[in-house]
Structure 1
Amino acid sequence: MPIYEFQCQACGHRFERLQKISDADPSTCPSCGEPRVGRLLSAPQFRLAGGGWYETDFKKDGDKKRNLADSPGSAAAPAPAGAPAPAPAPAPSTSSAD
């Protein structure tokens, strides 16, 4: 479910709410009670349940869960073919002041 951000037009109170897309937006401010709440445009957010990214979250209690971020194959991926190469570091200046 997405997390939406809202702001009260009366008092300026900002708050977030986890709700379905089909749910109605809140109509009153939880801080001041005024019916002047509007949804803000912000980066989309969502909530992940669990303690991390695991190979599987459906193993039995006796099986060991492995964190995929710590696996040897999780090294940084090479840059895509169309991506520009990183710029080399500038060479140190060799001129001396007279």
Structure 2
Amino acid sequence: MPMHDFMCQSCKHEFEELVVKDEEVKCPKCGSANTQQLMSCCRFSMGGDNGVGKAAQWRAQGGTSPSKCSGCSGGNCSTC
């Protein structure tokens, strides 16, 4: 289920909501169904401190590395 940003047109409250297809979204503050979906940016995170652990796990499961460097295995060192 995707997370979407909304604004209530009645009380101007902005909120996020997990949305199932064609589900009516009501404002959690005033209960109005007069809501409008806002444009929001896509969020993606590999997790961890800098994502290195998750990136290595992703490559081990069939993902490809941007570089085959044996020094850093990810294209982040001066020899890549």
2:57 paired residue number: 56
In 2, are the aligned partners of 1:4 and 1:45 still within 8 Å (CA)? no
Give the aligned partner of residue 11 of structure 1.
11
Distance change >3 Å, CA 30–CA 49, structure 1 → 2:
farther
SS of 1:56 mapped into structure 2:
helix
Give 1:23 deviation, angstroms: 4.6
Q: Cα offset for 1:33?
A: 1.6
TM superposition shift of 1:30? 0.5
Asked whether the equivalents of residues 7 and 37 of structure 1 are also in contact (C-alpha less than 8 Å), the reply is yes
Q: How far does residue 49 in structure 1 lie from its aligned partner after superposition?
A: 8.2
Q: 1: CA distance between counterparts of 2:72 and 2:24?
A: 45
Matched residues, number: 63
Using the size of structure 1 for normalisation, the TM-score is 0.45
Gaps of 5+ in 2: 59-64, 66-70
Structure richer in helix, relative to its length: 2
CA RMSD of aligned residues (A): 3.4
Identity, % of aligned positions: 34
Q: Structure 1 unaligned runs (5+)?
A: 58-67, 77-98
Larger Rg: 1
Give the whole-Å Cα distance in 1 for the aligned partners of 2:12 and 2:35: 9
Q: Note the C-alpha offset of 1:37.
A: 1.1
Length-normalised TM-score, structure 2: 0.52
- Report the Cα distance in structure 2 between the residues aligned to 1:36 and 1:45, rounded to whole angstroms: 26
For residue 63 of structure 1, what is the aligned residue in structure 2? none
